[in-house]
Structure 1
């Protein structure tokens, strides 16, 4: 297995793991404490991870397909997803949690 192949497999697995982590937060409405402190809300954390994971998975998928225009389109969609995640749902720093 070449270095490029296993790198794409690891990148795709990381993207899917991030997307599932984000989807899990959105479905359950719960997040780990460190994640909760870093984001304004669990919804923001879930959307951030979901969009970032889908973007990473799309880049890997487009690269694996190696089909010219399909690769270009998936890469552009991935960039848009990550841009939305970074601009709209980015971590806002530590939040005080009242007990």
Structure 2
């Protein structure tokens, strides 16, 4: 999924400041993590909507993509399940 990402300068690289996803603007409230690949840079950010996103920047094409999205609701459900899906009950 391609995004429209507005960036800001942080030291010597540009990092996401806000992005538009399906016509909804999400401000980046926290840069959680960042790592680099061969031709890509990944940014894990927390959005103003409370969700976590991993955005990938293709340095050769100068394009951003969304690679992961996790909402607070989904995290709460996973936490209640102990971080694992519960096995289905089997009637005997």
TM-score of the two chains, using structure 1 as the length reference? 0.26
Between Structure 1 and Structure 2, which shows a larger proportion of helix residues? 1
For the pair shown, which has the larger CA radius of gyration, 1 or 2? 2
Q: Which has the higher contact order (CA 8 A, sep 6+)?
A: 1
